[in-house]
Structure 1
Amino acid sequence: MLSSTASPARPRRRMVTFSAVLSSVILVVAGCVGTDDAPDSDGGTGAAGTPELTVAMITHEVPGDTFWEVVRRGADEAARKNGVDLQYSSDPEAPNQANLVQEAIDGDVDGIALTLAKPDAMAPVVQRALDAGVPVVAFNSGFDNWQDIGVAQYFGQDEMLAGRAAGERLIRDGRTNVLCVIHEQRQVALESRCAGVREGFTRGGFETLDVNSKDMASVVATLTAKLRQDQSVDSVVTLGAPIAQAAVESRDAAGSTAEIVTFDTNAALIDLIRGGDVRWAVDQQPYVQGHEAVDALWLTLTNASTVGGGQAVLTGPAWVDRSNVDEVAEYVRDGTR
């Protein structure tokens, strides 16, 4: 059984040279990917010439969701650049995710990057990490909660803001009856997105539909039944690229004329945008979220630095539609958008 007793506070780590720190700061500010391929030395230092560090990244990933492949690509690149040993784990159930965080604390990791999809469940174990002297950064989920929980830095999208922007765009598109599909219940980021869409979509009908992304066949069946029953729905908003793909299938099966729009992208979705099956996507840039979460921990551990000045570092929203899909397509295929 995992212990809930906090470990003793850790001693302050030694700082690295100014040149190494300056190099990382430049990379963070410029938003560039590092290219330092120098091998680790035998003296316990990483590729960046700093002490070897272990960072745990713990998310609420649902198996099969392509979004997290992009997050991990960014995190892996930042870890490689900085000579960090990155340990990734995930569980969509909040108690299990909290247990993974506790295991990381017990494993004496140097830093933790995590998502706060279920912030109430994660708050106690985050506090245990902080009490043990382990710095914690949050990303992707928990925009409204990270500061209250005591996390120092956050990288992600303001979901309400992004949702409002999507709702306002639906008005410009001439939509009149919107269905917003929530694929994971009680997940704060998804609920905030739909709430934001509702705020921005100030005319016509609006409804939410709960589906279970752990069972994609049931997603298609539930959405097909809804669209078949209500032919007045003229826009379906999904909150993830795989759900958008399912929505296209459901729309066709139901004989609906509803347009599909979504949050987030993947390679298959790019083709759907090109072909007109999906009108547009809101991109929160998950590669940037994973990369900057790991990079920020490296800066904290090697230079006592923080990024954002106490404010969230926003990674979105950005739009992907037919006007710019060819510009981002190669990066989506490479797993960085």
Structure 2
Amino acid sequence: MKTSKKLLALLPAIALVAASCGGSDDDSSSEASTDTAASTDTAAPVETDAPEEVDQTQAGDLTFHMITHSDDGPFWSVVQRGADAAAEDLGVTLVWKPGVNDAQVMVQDIEAAVAEGSDGIAASLPDPDALVGPLQAAVAEGIPVITLNSGANDYQAIGALTHVGQSEDVAGNGAGERFNDAGATKVLCAFQEQGNVGLEERCNGLAETFGGETVIEFMGLDADTTEQQNTINAFLAADPDIDGVLGVGPVITMSALRAAQDLGRDLTIGGFDMTPDLLGAIEAGDVAFTVDQQQYLQGYMPVLLMYLNVTNQNTLGGGLPILTGPGFVTTDNATAVIELSAAGTR
């Protein structure tokens, strides 16, 4: 069984703690030991089988793959930073494979990872129809699989160890409640990726709890923010009853804000995830909130969980997903989160 250098380095400290906590409750035994030690001029050396040096290569030959629909934008860069940090902390190799919102690219990367004999695969699941099968094949080859970000409703069908992320419909529910509190009556739920089930769940969750009317529409890709903003502008201009917009990503949320400002419309605007621009808009009071799914954890935790499963047969979650959200960033906590975002971990 492979054990990391860092874990082995903790063993002497653990032994000391055990020794300090494991003594007898009988004070006479302690006193007898003290008297014996005091009457001996030179204490005999204690023999131990513990190695004097730790093998630095014990975990270095593990290679994990993280295969996502990442577009390498501001959200996914934080996920990658978390994954890289975990790999460095544990002394393993991480292969990062961004699919750039193309499920077929992800399928090819999963199949290549299986062929290479990956020690573990962490994958997002934006298109279950395309991705469940290849990940089931990885499990059949004995490779531990963990889903992250999107996939909370499908990871069990894969046979994955667990899912790390947020429940997208529950996050949408929370957004709907915030629009209710703001007094909105008609909300546009604007999404930026067609066929992404996670984004659909966010909008559907909004519709479940929002007391007014919900309009769900594709408003263009994040890759072209000018077109995205113009599309939202035209949609808002055609429907003066819309008094709220939920962007299901940080870039489209800012496109919605600019579109509303161009039209001179005072709308309640909410978003998902974070960028410096979006956090600044929340701090300034121009955006009411954003849903925080703590994506740094979505990168860090799967690497840690795969490592513990391979080296120590550990599992977490008890068959349930490990939730990283939803939380909410509002004017109340935006300043503190901005500082962490500048450090690259939020």
For residues 37-63 of structure 1, the C-alpha deviation after alignment (integer angstroms, 9 at most, x for no partner) is xxxx87523xxxx35311111111235
Are 2:42 and 1:44 aligned?
A: no
User: Residue type matched to 1:218 in 2?
Assistant: E
Deviations, residues 296-337 of structure 1 (Å, cap 9, x unaligned): 111111101111111100000111000111121111111211
CA distance in 1, matches of 2:325, 2:9: 26
Deviations 1:54-100 (A, max 9, x none): 1111111235x211011011111111100111110111111111111
Contact 2:84 2:94 in 1 (8 A): yes
Does the aligned pair in 1 maintain the 2:179–2:268 contact within 8 Å? no
CA distance in 1, matches of 2:67, 2:267: 37
2:87 is matched with 79
Aligned position for 1:196: 205
Match of 2:247 in 1: 238
CA RMSD of aligned residues (A): 1.9
5 Å-filtered alignment, 1:290-305, equals 290-305=299-314
Match of 1:330 among 313, 318, 339: 339
> More deviation in 107-116 or 211-220?
211-220
**8 Å Cα contact 1:179/1:237 also seen in 2:** yes
Instruction: Return the letter of the residue paired with 2:300.
Output: H
Question: Is the CA contact (8 Å cut-off) linking 2:186 and 2:241 kept in structure 1?
Answer: yes
1:126-141 matches, cutoff 5 A = 126-141=135-150
Larger Rg: 2
Structure 2, gaps ≥5 residues long: 11-53
Partner of 2:216: 208
Residue identity in the other structure for 2:123: L
Q: Residue type of the partner of 1:162?
A: A
Alignment gaps of 5+ in structure 1: 1-13, 24-40
Can you list the C-alpha shifts for 1:225-278, whole angstroms capped at 9, x where unaligned? 011111221110001111111111111223322221101111111111111121
Matches within 5 A, 1:99-110: 99-110=108-119
1:137: Cα distance to partner?
A: 0.5
Give per-residue Cα distances to partners, 1:9-61, cap 9 Å, x unaligned: xxxxx2438982897xxxxxxxxxxxxxxxxx87523xxxx353111111112
Given the alignment of the two structures, is residue 66 of structure 1 paired with residue 79 of structure 2, yes or no?
Answer: no
The answer (yes or no) to whether the contact 1:90–1:100 under 8 Å persists in 2 is no
Matches within 5 A, 1:150-299: 150-201=159-210, 203-213=211-221, 214-299=223-308
Equivalent residue letter for 1:90? P
**Aligned counterparts of 1:333 and 1:268: Cα–Cα separation in 2:** 11
The secondary structure found in structure 1 opposite 2:325 is: coil
The verdict on how the C-alpha distance between 1:43 and 1:279 changes in structure 2, with shifts beyond 3 A counting, is: closer
**Residue 320 (structure 1) aligns with:** 329
The structural deviation recorded for 1:212 is 2.7
Q: Percent identity?
A: 37
TM-score (norm 1): 0.85
Residues 1:20 and 2:29 are matched in the alignment: no
Structure 1 residue 311 corresponds to structure 2 residue 324: no
CA distance in 2, matches of 1:21, 1:263: 41
SS of alignment partner, residue 81 of structure 1? helix
Residue 95, structure 1, aligned to residue 104, structure 2:
yes
Conservation of the 8 A alpha-carbon contact between 1:102 and 1:125: yes
Look up the SS of the partner of 1:57 in the other structure: strand
Give me the TM-score of the superposition, normalised by structure 2.
0.83
Distance (Å, rounded) in 1 between the aligned partners of 2:62 and 2:181: 49
